[in-house]
Structure formats: C-alpha cells, structure tokens
Copies of this chain bind each other. A is one copy, B any other.
C-alpha cells in the first residue's frame, strides 16, 4: 500500500509561529502563562501546551493576577485586549500576521468612514477578533442572502475571514455591489489555505482512501474533509492515529494523507506509521 502525504499538510506559518511563541513563553516566563481561548484549533497541541504549563481558559476571570496572557492565533478584539491590560496582565501577542493585516484593514476602512462588512462565520474567533476592529456595528455575512440584507450605504468596505474560498467571497461581494455607491474590497484570503485545498483535491483524486487529519473544531480541517469527500468517497476525518480502522484499507492500493493548518507534524507522522503497520 502506497501512502502519499500532501505537500501542504500541517502547520501553516501563523500556527507554527503561535505555537513557538507559546512554548517559548512557557520556558522563559517566570509568571503563570495563559491563553484566552485555545491557542490553535488542535486539542492535542493544546494538551501538550498544558503539560508545559500554558493554560487555556475561556474567560479573563479564570486568570491569576500577575500572569502573562498569550493572544491566540485568531486574535482578540481591542476591547478584550484593553480589559486584559487594565487587569495588569502581561500580553504576549501570537495573532497570525495575516489575521493582523485583516484587523488593520478593518480599522482603516472604519476610520475612513466605510460601513464595514466582514465575510465569514460570526461564531469563529478570527471573525470575532476582526469585528472588534471594524467600528460600532459591522455586518458579518456568510451568504448571498445575508449580503442582500445589508442596509444600503454610500461607502462600504469588505474584508474576508482568511480561510474562506475565493469563489464564495466573489458571489457575496457581488451582491454587496448593489447596496452601495462605493465598494472597497480587501482580498484578505490566506494563500496557504487555498494551496492546501487545491493540493488536497488533487491528491484525493489519485487515491483509494483519503485521511484528513486535524481538530474536529478546526474550520479549515473540516473544509478540507468536505473537499476531499467530493472527490474520494472513502475520505475519513480523524484527529489522531488511534482512530484509524484497518478495514478502511481492505481494497486500497493507494492512501492519501493531508492535514489542517493546526495539525502538528508529529500527529501526521503517527498516522503514516499506523497505516504502514496495517499494510
């Protein structure tokens, strides 16, 4: 059985950077170290960070006085950062630089008088962090239907959740063009995400079984699994090697493996070893 791992599988630049910052903080800081919300959407990496002393908490109330707080890769709104500072915590910023750029685009649009529209999932922490930079009441839309409900305005500015697909954003942006005299669109999609999706689609087309490895709470991993399933019927989304079942490979000659942006190499390696054992 041949196992092919997608070139683009695993940690993206932003996740690699955030994880490095967190491990370094755990090593060097004399204070307690916290992350407000999980640093990245991978439970195994978050557990591993906990073992090193980096605690993930859902709210500021859970953080001990005098601690260091890491801003997660998805970023935080200026309001929340302000609260953390007001409470005297030391801030360590691990926001993905590409998300940081979207926040600054949103800030700029708002400052220049544009009504800001964010294309994305209103529940996703990245979108919540961007919304905090987009003025009083930014719109968050995730479909053409929602775009059609945006109140008409003279100047409208658009930014996008970094992990979306361009085709979807195009449709939504076009619907917005009817609602304004001036539409200013920042294409804030992350190139890595797109290449990862393309690579996964190609690989899924070449194999009998496709494994997509990554957190079940990871938006980009879920999207990868959907894309692969369309091309390869026998696609499985797993978090760790232990979930693999030998019967998946009964008639398989070729197996493909890809992984989300928040999946570390060691989990991918374990998955590949496990398949080799079955063979």
**Contact surface of A with B, Cβ cutoff 8 Å:** 166, 169-171, 173-174, 177-178, 180-187
Assembly stoichiometry (copies): 2
Choose among B169, B183, B186 the residue that contacts A185 (Cβ–Cβ < 8 A). Answer: B183
Residues of B near A180 (CB, < 8 A) are 187
Q: How far is the CA of A173 from the CA of B176 in the complex (A)?
A: 12
Whole-angstrom distance between the Cβ of A112 and the nearest chain B Cβ: 11
Q: How far is the CA of A169 from the CA of B183 in the complex (A)?
A: 13
Whole-angstrom distance between the Cβ of A279 and the nearest chain B Cβ: 42
Residues of B near A173 (CB, < 8 A) are 174, 177
Q: How far is the CA of A180 from the CA of B188 in the complex (A)?
A: 10
Q: How far is the CA of A86 from the CA of B187 in the complex (A)?
A: 44
Instruction: List 23 interface pairs A-B (beta carbons < 8 Å), by A numbering.
Output: A166-B177, A166-B178, A169-B177, A170-B174, A170-B177, A171-B174, A173-B174, A173-B177, A174-B174, A177-B185, A177-B187, A180-B187, A181-B186, A181-B187, A182-B184, A182-B185, A182-B186, A182-B187, A183-B184, A183-B187, A184-B184, A184-B185, A185-B185
Whole-angstrom distance between the Cβ of A177 and the nearest chain B Cβ: 6
